A and B are shown apart, each in its own frame.
Chain A
Amino acid sequence: QSALTQPASVSGSPGQAITIPCVGTNSDIGGYNFVSWYQQHPGKAPKLIIYEVTNRPSGVPDRFSGSKSGNTASLTVSGLQAEDEADYYCSSFTGGNIELFGTGTKVTVL
């Protein structure tokens, strides 16, 4: 089992849009619409922000959006805000009821 691949860091200025890619294979991301995204602030537990590729739980701002193309899922944060500075992780279920997480991306708001 290998982790999904994310860039180590992404940065942007307040108000800008950033996109975090999450690269997998056709055995995980490419094979299922079971991609989710989690936000983690320092010292806190991860928090669900996107599920099943594109869906936002209630209470998550609509500046967070998800998409998928082939074996790559993406998280876009539009209108970046200071409180969006955090670590972000993707995850995907695979065949055999196994789950893979991404390597994680640190988002810095300049």
Chain B
Amino acid sequence: QERMVESGGGVVRPGRSLRLSCAASGFTFSRYGLHWVRQTPGKRLEWVAVIWSNGINKYYGDSVKGRFTISRDNSRNTFYLQMNSLRAEDTAIYYCTRALSSYHDCWGQGTLVTVSS
């Protein structure tokens, strides 16, 4: 059964860092592009970042560019989102997803990140 499970969320102060992980199982991990998508308290979905299957191409949304870094470890079927210089507006549920093409066909259950002093 295809499954993706996020971890690493929590409460963090503005300016601090947090690393999210996403462990995948039930499919050939190395074939897929991997994404982070977040959902704000207002329920808006916002695409955050993608890392292609080659592990080299990485792209970021404007609001996180320069602060967040996506990476993957195919040997562990896991990928990550390193979040630095966190801001209150980064508060959201963070979902990890996979995409073979342009669409997200498998989502994790989400992990909540709260940035607050």
Q: Which chain A residues lie closer than 8 Å to B108 at the CB level?
A: 45
A8 to chain B, nearest CB (A): 10
Interface 0/1 of B100-114, CB less than 8 Å to A: 011111011110000
Docked complex Cα distance between A36 and B45 (Å): 13
Q: Tell me the chain B residues, 29-72 only, with Cβ under 8 Å from chain A.
A: 35, 37, 43-47, 50, 57, 59, 61-63
Q: Which chain B residues lie closer than 8 Å to A91 at the CB level?
A: 45, 47, 103
Interface size on A, residues (CB 8 A): 26
Which B residues are within 8 Å of any A CB, using their own CB?
A: 35, 37, 43-47, 50, 57, 59, 61-63, 95, 101-105, 107-110
Query: What are 21 contact pairs spanning A and B, CB under 8 A?
Result: A1-B62, A3-B44, A3-B46, A34-B101, A45-B109, A45-B110, A46-B37, A46-B104, A51-B102, A52-B101, A87-B43, A91-B45, A91-B103, A97-B57, A98-B59, A99-B50, A101-B37, A101-B44, A101-B47, A102-B45, A103-B44
